[in-house]
Amino acid sequence: MPEHPLTAKIEFPVTGEVCEVDYDDTLVDATFRYELPIRYRCERAVCTTCLVEVLEGADHLSPMEDREKQTLAAVKAKPNWRLACQVSILGDVKLDYISITDSRRKPEETTTSS
C-alpha cells in the first residue's frame, strides 16, 4: 500500500471547477488537461501570472523552493499564495486563481486617522 493517496482532488470553489489528478501531478499539467482557471506565462517562477490563493490544503502542495519564495516576497504575497507553475499536488486542495488584474494583488492601503 502506498503511504499517500493515489489521486487528489483540485477544487476551485469560487468558479466551480473540480478535477481529480494523480498524486504528484503538477498543477500545470492539471490545468491544461482539465482546463482549470489558471493562466501561465514563464512557468519559471518569474512573472507571477499563475498566482493562486490556497483556500484549503496548503500542506497538500509540494514544498516551496527558494525561487518561488523570492518571487512571492517581491510581490508581497500573502502566506497562503503560491505560484501554480511551481506546485505539485500531494492531496486534496481548494484554490482560487488571482489574475494579474485581481484587486488582491494591490498593496493594502495604509489608513490614517484624522
The residues of the shown chain that bind ligand FES, judged by CB under 6 A, are: 40-43, 45-50, 83, 85
Chain residue at closest Cβ approach to ligand FES: 85
- Cα distances from 24 to residues 29, 46, 47, 54, 112, in angstroms, run 10, 22, 23, 17, 46
Task: Report the nearest approach of ligand FES to the CB of residue 23 (Å).
Answer: 22
Closest CB to ligand FES among residues 4, 58: 58
Task: Report the nearest approach of ligand FES to the CB of residue 48 (Å).
Answer: 5
Helix (H) or strand (E) holding 74: helix 66-74
